[in-house]
Amino acid sequence: MYRYLILLFLALACTFKATVYTPTPDASQEATGTDANHDSEAGGDSGSGSDGAPDSKIQSACATGQVCADDSDCDQGERCNLTLPVPGCQHLYCSAAGEPCDDDALCIPGLACVGTDAPKCAICDCDDGDATTEDACVRETGECWHVSLALGDETGLLWQNTGTLTAGSLFDAEDACDRMSLLGLTWRLPIIDELRGMIRGCPATETGGACGITGQCLSLEACMTDACDGCEVWKGPAHGHYMPSEVEVVPTGYRRIWSSSPYEAESGTWANWVVDFGTGAVSAASVYVQGGVPQAYGWCVSDAGQ
């Protein structure tokens, strides 16, 4: 009898405990708020360290002043320094020739930070009034540097010559060219004939060379020849690239460039023809990103010059 009374007492005690300590939704919210206040007072996870200073993520965004996207976000007398890890507004310090400096981003228009050992502000107004060129001062010498934003070829096409080439799948490259508004023109990916027209220094794959891949012959089995393998790696006339020396948009290391021409094979592989400007070779690449590695880069072309 006593045994059953003891078991009943224990069951009631457990039920009472669950009723008292199981929080309702309102109680849970109140407890959360209390914990948050406690953490804040103790220098916990509320954005401050043990000494009350902001955590590193907040500091990196605010240490240089207001976070900005361009100069219009900043007060008068400040510029948006885009060279910082988190772009921020900074006071202009390069406001007169001869002042010490270390960053072109903080110079007033017409001045540039020139020199390497002890750089100083120097007059360098390089704007030539041509909206189709990008103008800048050469850091080491203070001389003006003008680069065409788009290069014309023998066929009248205009080639992108500013910005950053898009690395990724064929679809990423196509989308980047569709969205490009450079010079107010319409841009697209080039066909394989147009890409081969930009090869320099590798006769086998230049326009009219022995490589059989053209816009009229895209079959792997029927058109691919040994001549399409190109030339010796990084021995081209443009800083190692097999392309015109005027091209500024393709830095060293950018090799394979997408064409919009599909690779035709009996296996039905989803691929497009590309040109490797590090070797001058014409080959094919999967239209998808493989293992997280971009297969080629998008270099945009416009028909506006034709």
* CATH number reported for the structural domain that contains residue 90 in this entry: 2.10.80
Single-letter amino acid code for the residue at 271? A
Single-letter amino acid code for the residue at 19? T
Does one domain contain both 294 and 155?
Answer: yes
Does one domain contain both 179 and 297?
Answer: yes
Does one domain contain both 196 and 137?
Answer: no
Q: Based on the number of CB atoms within 10 Å of its own CB, is 281 exposed (0-12), middle (13-18) or buried (19 or more)?
A: buried
As a dihedral over the C-alpha atoms of residue 62, residue 64, residue 70, residue 76, rounded to 10 degrees, the angle is 120
Helices (H), the chain: 2-21, 25-41, 56-62, 170-179, 192-196, 220-223
Give the residue carrying structure tokens 């001058």: 280
What is the token pair recorded at 130?
Answer: 């041509």
Q: Would you say 189 and 174 are in contact if contact means Cβ atoms under 8 Å apart? A: yes
Number of domains in the chain: 2
Does one domain contain both 156 and 272?
Answer: yes
Domain limit, last residue, from 92, 118, 148: 148
Domain span including residue 130: 64-148
Does one domain contain both 157 and 144?
Answer: no
pLDDT values of the chain reduced to their tens digit, one per residue, 306 residues:
443 443 334 333 333 333 333 333 443 333 333 343 333 333 333 333 333 333 332 223 333 467 888 888 888 767 787 767 778 887 765 667 887 776 655 666 677 778 777 788 887 777 777 767 777 666 656 677 666 778 888 788 999 988 888 889 999 999 999 999 888 889 999 999 999 999 999 999 999 999 999 999 999 899 999 999 999 999 999 889 999 988 888 756 668 999 999 988 767 678 999 999 999 999 999 999 888 888 899 999 999 865
* DSSP-derived secondary structure for 152-181: E-TTS-EEE-SS-PEEE-HHHHHHHHHH--
- For residue 219, being part of any structural domain is answered with yes
Does one domain contain both 118 and 178?
Answer: no
